């Protein structure tokens, strides 16, 4: 007699039909946490250099491109001129073609001129 062979794909499909809804939801949450963006850590020297570039662009009214972290979602890039710097709140206001936005100094990853 000939035995029936089951491929790994078919076996995986058959096993997935028996996953409880609670387990499926937990698995989805774990996958989402693993995909969540983790920003790189910058040391004090790098932060000081970024602050210096921002200050230079503010004084000279030169347009810059800022790469920053947007609330754990990921990196974002915006172009414009630094319109205002608030050292007590550690925020800057960047005015560009799309309007103006406020960016925290702690969220800034890169400054290009």
Residue carrying structure tokens 């078919």: 10
Ordered strands of the 63-70 beta sheet? 99-104, 91-96, 74-86, 63-70, 108-112
Determine the structural domain holding residue 72 and report its residue range: 44-112
Whether residue 8 is contained in a domain is answered as no
Above 80 in pLDDT, residue 3? no
Confidence (pLDDT) at 45:
95
Whether residue 106 is contained in a domain is answered as yes
- 74 Rama class: left (phi>0) / alpha (psi -120 to 50) / beta: left
Whether residue 10 is contained in a domain is answered as no
Confidence (pLDDT) at 7:
63
Contact between residue 64 and residue 77 where contact means Cβ atoms under 8 Å apart: no
Whether residue 65 is contained in a domain is answered as yes
Whether residue 13 is contained in a domain is answered as no
Strand ranges inside 7-107, DSSP E: 63-70, 74-86, 91-96, 99-104
For 12-23, the pLDDT digits (tens) are 555 666 777 788
Confidence (pLDDT) at 22:
81
Total domains present in the chain = 1
CATH value at residue 82: 2.30.30.100
Confidence (pLDDT) at 26:
85
């Amino acid at each position: 007699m000939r035995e029936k062979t089951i491929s790994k794909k078919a076996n995986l499909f058959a096993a997935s039909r028996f996953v409880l809804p609670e387990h499926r939801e937990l698995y989805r949450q774990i996958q989402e946490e693993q995909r969540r963006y983790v920003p790189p850590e910058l040391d004090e020297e790098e932060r000081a250099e970024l602050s210096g570039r921002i200050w230079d662009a503010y004084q000279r009214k030169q347009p810059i491109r800022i790469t920053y972290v947007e609330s754990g979602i990921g990196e974002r890039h915006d172009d414009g001129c630094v319109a205002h710097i608030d050292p007590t709140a550690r925020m800057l206001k960047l005015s560009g073609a799309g309007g103006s936005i406020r960016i925290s100094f702690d969220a800034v990853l890169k400054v290009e001129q």
